[in-house]
């Protein structure tokens, strides 16, 4: 039980495992801890912590926030958050209300194209989930309106699809601040997926560091060895913590497994200890905290 996974999704966003199934699977895989980081929601955290109470695994409370940086969709992980913090819960409630409106608009656009997809149908098909475009794509595929989820994205709900509606996003520095208000650590998720060249990536990470970024996802399921070396070097250069995760979504990401990614992923539990030490120093060490106010 020396491995952990600090980037995991459940049915509360766009994963296919319930939190109970996720925890049981993590125990079967002998993971020491997992971080539940559903997209823009913390609704699964308390059920997960309650279910895992008497089980040999630690649940790290987290969230993955969508944010905007120069028009690009950037994901910021909040780890070790106070998931009951009123500022965080109020923002996420507002975000979910805006997501409902967005989803309803996408349904209307589909109907305008004579594709009979209704919001109520999606709610029935994916109960207790925060509906994402992944759910739209899956439903379109299941109902025979597209030949694959990939085609559903390309034709209908992807960024360049006919029914795309932009979602509410806060600025990246605001996402970092929101996580800090909830006593959490703000982590840049999967930086290589934003397709910056090396110079732009360095500038981007430097700017986020100045905005208070605490860490970077240095171990990730898609990294090549050279990409991991690059991210680790940037973390060292900008004095950032290292985290790691599989970005597990269940069957929504074929071939990607919890804890091990595409087969060779390994995230040591020592990283979680380092995160906890950093959180304690930032938020609970009064002598240190007084120097950064």
- The DSSP result for 35-54, as a single string, is EE--BT--TTHHHHHHHTTT
- 150 and 97, same domain (yes or no): yes
pTM of this structure: 0.86
229 and 101 in a single domain? The answer is: no
Find the helix packing angle between 86-112 and 172-181, rounded to 10°.
140
Structure tokens at 178: 């929101």
Is 176 among the domain residues? no
Residues in the chain: 293
Please give the distance of CA 250 from its chain centroid, rounded to a whole number. 14
Tell me, yes or no, whether 210 and 287 share the same domain: yes
Q: How many CA atoms lie within 13 A of 93 on its CB side?
A: 8
Say if 105 falls within a structural domain.
yes
Output the domain CATH number for residue 26: 3.20.20.140
Q: Is 131 found in the same domain as 54?
A: no
Range 201-206, long-range pairs (CB < 8 A, 24+ positions): 201/230, 201/234, 202/234, 202/237, 204/69, 205/234, 205/238, 205/240, 206/238
pLDDT in tens, the chain (293 residues): 689 999 999 999 889 999 999 999 999 999 999 999 999 999 999 999 999 999 999 999 999 999 999 889 999 999 999 999 999 999 999 988 998 999 999 999 999 999 999 999 999 998 877 788 988 999 999 999 999 999 999 999 998 999 999 888 899 999 999 999 999 999 999 999 999 999 999 999 999 999 999 999 999 999 999 999 999 999 999 999 999 999 999 988 889 999 999 999 999 999 999 999 999 999 877 554 444 43
Q: How far is CA 252 from CA 10, 118, 133, in A?
A: 11, 22, 12
Structural domain of 274: 3-80+185-292
Contacts of 234 (CB under 8 A, 6+ apart): 191, 201, 202, 205, 216, 240
Specify if 110 maps to a domain: yes
């Amino acid at each position: 039980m020396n491995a952990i996974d600090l980037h995991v999704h459940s049915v509360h966003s766009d994963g296919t495992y319930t939190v109970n199934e996720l925890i049981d699977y993590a125990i079967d895989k002998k993971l020491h801890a997992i971080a539940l980081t559903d997209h823009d929601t913390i609704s699964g955290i308390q059920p997960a912590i309650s279910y895992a109470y008497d089980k040999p695994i630690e649940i790290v409370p987290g969230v993955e926030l969508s944010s905007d940086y120069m028009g690009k969709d950037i994901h910021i992980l909040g780890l070790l958050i106070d998931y009951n913090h009123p500022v965080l819960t109020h923002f996420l409630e507002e975000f979910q209300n805006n997501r409902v409106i967005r989803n309803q608009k996408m349904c209307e656009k589909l109907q305008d194209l004579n594709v009979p997809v209704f919001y109520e149908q999606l709610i029935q098909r994916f109960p207790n989930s925060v509906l994402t475009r992944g759910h739209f794509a899956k439903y379109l595929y299941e109902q025979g309106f597209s030949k694959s989820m990939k085609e559903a994205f390309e034709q209908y709900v992807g960024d360049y699809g006919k029914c795309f509606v932009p979602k509410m996003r806060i600025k990246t520095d605001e996402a970092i601040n929101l996580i800090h208000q909830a006593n959490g650590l703000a982590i840049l998720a999967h930086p290589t997926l934003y397709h910056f060249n090396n110079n732009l990536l360095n500038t981007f990470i430097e700017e986020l560091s100045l905005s208070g970024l605490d860490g970077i996802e240095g171990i990730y399921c898609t990294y090549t060895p050279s990409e991991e070396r690059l991210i680790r070097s940037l973390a060292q250069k900008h004095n950032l913590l290292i985290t790691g995760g599989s970005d597990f979504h269940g069957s929504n990401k074929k071939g990607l497994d919890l804890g091990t990614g595409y087969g060779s992923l390994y995230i040591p539990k020592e990283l979680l200890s380092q995160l906890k030490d950093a959180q304690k120093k930032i938020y609970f060490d009064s002598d240190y905290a007084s120097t950064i106010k």
